Amino acid sequence: MLEGLIVKALSGYYYVKPLREGLISGKEPSVQCRGRGIFKKRGESPLVGDRVRYSLTENGEGTVDEILPRSSQLIRPQVANVGLAVLLFSVREPDMNLLLLDKFLVHIEHAGLDALILITKQDLAGSEDHSAERVKELYESIGYQVIITSSLLGTGTEEVKQRLAGEISVFSGQSGVGKSSLLNALVPGLTLETSEISMRLGRGRHTTRHVELIELDNGGFVADTPGFSQLDFMELGIEELTGCFREFTAYAEECKFRGCSHTHEPGCRVLQAKEEGKVAESRYRHYLEFFTEIKDMKRRY
């Protein structure tokens, strides 16, 4: 039986890239496959990013027979075996949205993935605009890798490509930040549809309609996924939120009360760290917003 990687799922078909000795055979075309009926009976479904065993049929197509064990599985977007989440937020058009960035980071931490933050469209920043550098400094101090990029100027493209080598990465972020433009720059010959920004709405039209793995020439794959404008916390509990803020962890262990919410309790080390400037004001403010959102949501349900 043959082994391969599902690089696209569309209209009931799975497009499987052959594996040779555990490595992707880049020169070979994908095989169009159907899934076995047994998957439906078991309530299983092959996902983009799955390593699978498949067999060829007489008409040159194939059948996915077995899904190999997954290292990770995302629900939205539905991708398996992702190791890195790449978050794109632009300097301008649309303006930087740190609340949304922190919301993405909470979900990524909860999913147990590594995160790479890309600040895009640096070419639109004026000479007096140092917002990208300030954001980079803040999030690097927390422990995230941040790269400032410009697809127009080619800034940061090679550094991004090196980080994606050998990984299945998922690209996400605010709509209209230049995901497709960056992917076009990363993969010569790729011509993903890009979209102009609606200045009235301050966001772009979604140009990505389905999840598909785009192959890089260094063993990496990028899942180009639909843009998101909002996320909810249905899968996240209040008690899990603290652990999704990296810089809170060490201080939370020293709080006076077990199960401290870090909102009002005496002897709260997180609050103290915030007052001392060791936790950024914006990060703590966003924590409170998410805390309230989760609390209200749990109350409603």
Annotated binding site: 120-123, 173-181, 255, 260, 262, 268
DSSP code string of 4-19: EEEEEEETTEEEEEEE
| Rg (alpha carbons) of the chain, rounded to whole number | 21
Tokens linked to 232: 């909810």
* CB count in 10 Å sphere of residue 236: 19
Q: Among 231, 224, 191, which Cα is nearest to 206's?
A: 224
Other CB atoms within 10 Å distance of the CB of residue 222: 25
- Sorted by sequence, the CB contacts under 8 Å of residue 48 that are 6+ apart come out as 6, 7, 8, 9, 78, 79, 80, 211, 212, 213, 223
* Letter string b/e over residues 66-99, b meaning 16 or more CB atoms within 10 A of that residue's CB: bbeeeeeebeebebbbbbbbbbbbbbbbbebbbe
Place of tokens 């699978």: 52
Calpha distance 71→83 (Å, rounded)? 8
Residues in the annotated binding site for Zn(2+): 255, 260, 262, 268
Would you list which residues are annotated within the binding site for GTP?
A: 120-123, 173-181
Tokens of 190: 């790729």
